[in-house]
Structure 1
């Protein structure tokens, strides 16, 4: 018996306009990635909030927050946090943790927020999903418009050069008795991940597609958006970014 009690039908999945609106809203996304290293993520948030020297009770936006695990931790650090995500199912789950200084809402990251934030975090490669490349610029402008006068934003993205160097073309992962068959490849400037599996006698297929944005691409987008890139790090311990060796591309801007 899998952990997904009510899998969506194939027609429901095909009716979605974009891959991320269907895939992220299924229970299978959370099953496949449930073993992510959240302790490492907490160390990163400890380091980055200390580096930014955020004021006590700073207003923080966790943009593309999923089920809110990192929003919850940021709130535990003492910040007033809003977690925002396009997935209604994820926000419904995250909202169970709401308190006076922790809230969640369904939101498209291409749209600015009315409220201004002291820090905006876009963590763990939650950027570059859109079919239209212009939407990446629109998202950066929305982040800029949602920052307070002295606010900082952080985008934590994959280091494309490192990902391509270490790419595993095919693998099988078994999680909660579901066998996920995964293929990865680069095509048309995007990194694709094809995911096939079967559950309760029903076959599923999903595709993840992320724009292979390197640092020069972000620098160009940020210049167009009127954003000032302040610092770049290459891992969650905030070590210097190396073009080929670093696992992450972490950008601090305002």
Structure 2
């Protein structure tokens, strides 16, 4: 049974299997990253923070525990419905397309863990950057955490099988036509599934070009979650601070 649509992220992220496959992501590393960002940004405790593409809200919850007023936004209705159990007076979750700006303004907008570059139309990436900028307060800062595409392509693992909760996920990867593709096939309860993640392999130069076109100021660049200097050959991440 095929579960693919033109907007792969709208279907794949809405399934429980996405969360099963990625359940073992490093929570401690993610919290360390957010702690480092919190210190770098020097946010007041009651800062208005937008966690853009928040998934099931794990990082939004942690940001809220640090004392911030947080809105977690994601395109996946199922993920937002799950996250709503964590809501309180200073933590809310909404279904939202990142290409659209918010009416309210934020002191900080975070787009973390490669939650960018999914759109088939190149213009949508620029539209998203503009929407982020428009949703910032006058002195607000945005953080975009992306993969270091150059290193990812160089170290691409062509195929592997990952078994999680008794499900064998057959994963293949390739770089083609400017995108990194990750195909995921598996069976569960006698049903076959086939999803393909596709992320544009945007480099620092690509982002600089888009930001220049959008009138965005790129203030700082880091290469890992410890906020160390970016190196296009060695760094694991491409983390950009802009306004």
What TM-score do the two structures reach when normalised by structure 1? 0.94
Task: State how far apart, in whole Å, the 1-side matches of 2:104 and 2:181 are.
Answer: 35
Q: CA deviation at 1:49?
A: 1.1
CA distance, structure 2, for counterparts of residue 88 and residue 152 of structure 1 = 27
Q: Count how many residue pairs are aligned between Structure 1 and Structure 2.
A: 243
Q: Does 2:185 correspond to 1:196?
A: yes
Per-residue Cα deviation, 1:197-252 (whole angstroms, up to 9, x for no partner): 00000000000000000000000000111100000000000010011000000000
**What is the match of residue 12 of structure 2?**
23
C-alpha distance in 2 between matches for 1:225 and 1:53: 26
Unpaired stretches in structure 1, ≥5 consecutive residues:
1-9
Q: Given the alignment of the two structures, is residue 141 of structure 1 paired with residue 130 of structure 2, yes or no?
A: yes
Q: Which residue in the other structure is 1:5 paired with? A: none
Aligned to 1:171: 160
**4+ aligned runs moved over 2 Å, structure 1:** none
Q: Residues 92-148 of structure 1, C-alpha deviation per residue, up to 9 Å, x if partnerless?
A: 000000000000000000000000000000000000000100000000000000000
2: distance between equivalents of 1:159 and 1:17?
25
Offset of 1:38 from its aligned partner? 1.1
- Choose 48-57 or 147-156, whichever is displaced more: 48-57
1:214 aligns with 2:206: no
Q: What is the TM-score of this pair, normalised by structure 2?
A: 0.99
Q: Secondary structure at the match of 1:184?
A: strand
Q: Is the 8 A contact 2:45 2:66 kept in 1?
A: no
1:154 aligns with 2:143: yes
Secondary structure, in 3 states, of the residue corresponding to 1:35?
Answer: coil
Corresponding position: 1:86 with 2:58:
no
Partner SS for 1:114: coil
Cα shift at 1:56: 2.1
Residue number in structure 2 paired with 1:64:
53
In structure 2, distance between residues paired with 1:132 and 1:167: 24
Q: Which consecutive residues of structure 2, in runs of 5 or more, have no partner in the other structure? A: none
